[in-house]
Amino acid sequence: MAEINVAALLAPPDILNCKRVLCVQPHPDDNEIGMGGVIYVLARSGCELHYLTVTNGDQGNLNPNAAPEETAAVRHLGASRFHFLPHGDGTLNDVLALSREIAEVIRSVQPEAIFCPDPWLPYEVHWDHIITGRAAANAFHLCGHMKCLRAIGYYFTASPNTVVDITDAFERKLIVHIFTREYGRRSYITSPGGASPGHRVRRGLFQPLSILEFDGFSTRGELHHIEGPIIAQPLSEIPFDIVKSTIALFLSELLYRLIKEGEADPGLYDFVEGSITTLDGLDSSVAANFHLWFLVQLTHYLGYSPQDNYAEGHALDYRAGLYISSDELPHTLLMAPREAKLFYELTHATPAQLPDFALAREQRTTLLTALIDLYGFHTEAIYSVNSLRILSEIF
């Protein structure tokens, strides 16, 4: 009787030998964030890359040209075929129905492998990611009879079993999303150049919350061109302080998810730029409360802030946008009195007054949870901020 090599049988397939793959994403840009480097490497190896976008991402971006913008961006990575399902952001709830839709695309594309977010990621809270991942897994099962289909791979995973060298992808052109004072949020394309020391400095410009000056050139499409970027205001501590760099990563992703492409908002821009320089100069011992202050202040610019009618012991009513007596609570869309008091105090606080807020970790966690609930009442986009998990663990 022949011996069976169980290790070889159960080993993950070599995805770099695939000639056609299907990358399934809940929202536009999830594939690039989760496996952009792998997509580029697969394209360079001659693989035919298909994108399947399940929702239109309208909760995070109301830009009506989101689909053309996405295809323009990822063509630079090497994706060439695009498929879209007609679902709204935050509306997914039926795994079996969605798996049948994905299975239809799989039968049409005939891929050797499919990729999607890991729906079993610990602490994953975005329902679209969970539903899409499970639906893709079930679709893979439904199409298991197809001889071409060899593997399903999960990105955003806590249990990787395959490593792909994406060093060459670092030299590819960058798609950067920049919040500008004159035009609001815009997408730009730039070349990071080669591997010379001078070019390495240039690539380092595009770090979370970097404040830049550059020459921008508008195009007819959604991707504009950027040349000659330089540091406008050097940050001396954020890149090197673990607390501040973690907060910077969170704020950068938060703004990416919440600020929509479109019209300029000079007031919001000035607030963001001022907050960045303030965080950079803030004493590290009080920086742990900065993200809470920022989230509270940001509600004013996004139109989420309540009326200024706080009284001691009142709760915050998200739906009505005002503080109410805790003796008369009409529904559950509320911030409890303790957190409502902190919200009110932070609303009227300056960064210089943050040392007055001696918050224990439990208080920071509870207030952050309440703030996420408040933002979640207005937009599902807050639940796509993956760095929230890191923030909760550190602070």
In this structure, the answer to whether residues 75 and 217 fall within a common structural domain is no
Confidence (pLDDT) at 219? 61
In this structure, the answer to whether residues 142 and 286 fall within a common structural domain is no
In this structure, the answer to whether residues 325 and 217 fall within a common structural domain is no
Q: Which amino acid is at 259?
A: I
In a domain, 164, yes or no: no
Confidence (pLDDT) at 44? 87
Domain that holds residue 109: 14-155
In this structure, the answer to whether residues 358 and 239 fall within a common structural domain is yes
Question: Mean pLDDT for each 10-residue chunk of the chain (395 residues)?
Answer: 60 83 91 86 92 82 49 71 91 95 96 95 88 96 90 90 80 78 86 50 76 80 76 91 91 91 90 96 89 97 95 92 85 90 96 92 93 92 83 76
In this structure, the answer to whether residues 199 and 254 fall within a common structural domain is no
Helix (H, G, I), strand (E, B) or coil at 216: strand
Residue for token digits 């075929």?
81
Q: What is the pTM of this model?
A: 0.64
In this structure, the answer to whether residues 144 and 185 fall within a common structural domain is no
Euclidean distance between CA atoms 105 and 275, whole angstroms: 45
Exposure on the CB side of residue 172, measured as CA atoms within 13 A: 22
CATH number of the structural domain spanning residue 293: 1.20.1440.120
Answer whether 12's CB lies under 8 Å from 161's CB: yes
Answer whether 143's CB lies under 8 Å from 108's CB: no
In a domain, 3, yes or no: no
Confidence (pLDDT) at 2? 59
Helix (H, G, I), strand (E, B) or coil at 93: coil
Instruction: Give how many domains the chain has, as a whole number.
Output: 3
